[in-house]
Amino acid sequence: MSQIGNAIEKRDQGPAAVIEQYKPELALVAASHVKVDTFARLAVGVLRQNEKLATAASSSPGSLMSALMTAARLGLEPGTEQFYLRPIKRKGVWEVQGIVGYQGIVELIYNAGAADSVVVEVVKRNDRFEYVPGRHDRPIHEVDWFGDRGPLVGAYAYAVMRGGAVSKVVVLNRNDIDRAKAKADGANTEYSPWRTDEEAMWLKTAVRRLGKWVPTSAEKLALPTAAASDRPALPAAPVIDDTDPDDEGPIEGELVD
């Protein structure tokens, strides 16, 4: 177990007390826009609403704090679709696992200030979907919102950058999604979001691939002034790494690890 895990075990008085005790450490790693008191209250609230998660946090407070440290570093809200907290059993011991959600990756893209909008959608069998690279700058996707859309068949993501240019369009079919799921840690366990929130995980897989092509940042970067608006945006520092065990592995690319 890590040094922080060993220290937590010695000081543990229950998950809520551990979070309170380690707020100074959370403050040291948190993105600048994170209000640590609010962050801690959110985390405690999630534990109180989920008995299994609370049991895992009591069993392994070190894993709880490891997950919360990651959420704080990325500036994401724990226990939401930005950053899932789930119980997972490893070698007979319940632990807390932190998983960046698709809304969390979208937030990291917006933080970098280079994108005006991020579009990430699933495609279902009865939708009309058309995208030909070189002919279309973005997909044509028509949905009957009040009819039977059928099962999931794919997902896509792209960003409209400042100035109007469209980023690379990521399009994934079911086989692409299945390959990503096969590499995910514990994807078929009871509390995995692949089982509890499958559509969100399809969205996440698409927007995570988009992270190869657009800047991301844990910090909310200030937009350029009007005088500098014609200058190209600088790439933000990489923030997504392989600490998320439910991903298909670290992103490889110019902007994101």
29 pLDDT more than 90:
yes
Query: Lowest mean pLDDT: which of 4-13, 136-145, 154-163?
Result: 4-13
Q: What is the pLDDT of residues 156-193, one digit of tens each?
A: 999 999 999 999 999 999 999 999 999 887 788 877 88
Last residue of a domain, one of 68, 100, 132: 100
Distances (CA, A) of 90 to 60, 107, 201, 237: 11, 30, 22, 33
Same domain, 140 and 211: yes
C-alpha of 155 from chain center: 16
Same domain, 92 and 117: no
Q: Could you tell me the pLDDT band of residue 14, with boundaries at 50, 70 and 90?
A: confident
C-alpha of 115 from chain center: 17
Q: How many domains does the chain have?
A: 2
Same domain, 49 and 140: no
12 pLDDT more than 70:
no
245 assigned to some structural domain: no
The number of CA neighbours under 13 Å toward the Cβ of 166 is 12
Structure tokens at 34: 């994170």
251 assigned to some structural domain: no
Structure tokens at 15: 């998950």
Q: What is the pLDDT of residues 86-101, one digit of tens each?
A: 999 888 899 999 999 9
Same domain, 88 and 169: no
Give the DSSP H/E element, type plus range, for residue 97: strand 93-100
Report the pLDDT value the prediction gives residue 189, as an integer from 0 to 100: 80
- Higher-pLDDT residue of 103 and 251 is 103
240 assigned to some structural domain: no
Report the pLDDT value the prediction gives residue 256, as an integer from 0 to 100: 28
Helix (H, G, I), strand (E, B) or coil at 245: coil
Helix (H, G, I), strand (E, B) or coil at 220: coil
Q: What is the pLDDT of residues 207-250, one digit of tens each?
A: 999 999 999 999 988 555 444 444 344 344 445 543 344 444 33
Give me the long-range contacts of 176-180 (CB less than 8 A, separation at least 24).
176/205, 177/152, 177/202, 177/205, 179/248, 180/205, 180/247, 180/248
Report the pLDDT value the prediction gives residue 196, as an integer from 0 to 100: 87
Last residue of a domain, one of 100, 122, 157: 100
| DSSP state, residue 62 | H
Helix (H, G, I), strand (E, B) or coil at 2: coil
Helix (H, G, I), strand (E, B) or coil at 32: coil
Same domain, 91 and 108: no
| Domain hosting residue 79, numbered range | 3-100
204 pLDDT more than 80:
yes
Same domain, 126 and 83: no
184 assigned to some structural domain: yes
Same domain, 119 and 215: yes
216 assigned to some structural domain: yes
Structure tokens at 105: 């990756």
Last residue of a domain, one of 100, 121, 138: 100
Report the pLDDT value the prediction gives residue 224, as an integer from 0 to 100: 54
Residue 169 near residue 206 (C-beta atoms within 8 A): no
Best CA proximity match to 67, nearest among 120, 32, 104: 104
Same domain, 75 and 132: no
Report the pLDDT value the prediction gives residue 193, as an integer from 0 to 100: 85
**Parallel, antiparallel or unpaired: strands 152-161 and 170-173:** antiparallel
Same domain, 84 and 12: yes
Same domain, 107 and 205: yes
Same domain, 84 and 109: no
Same domain, 90 and 107: no
Mean pLDDT of the chain, nearest integer: 84
194 assigned to some structural domain: yes
Q: What is the pLDDT of residues 54-67, one digit of tens each?
A: 999 999 999 999 99
237 assigned to some structural domain: no
61 assigned to some structural domain: yes
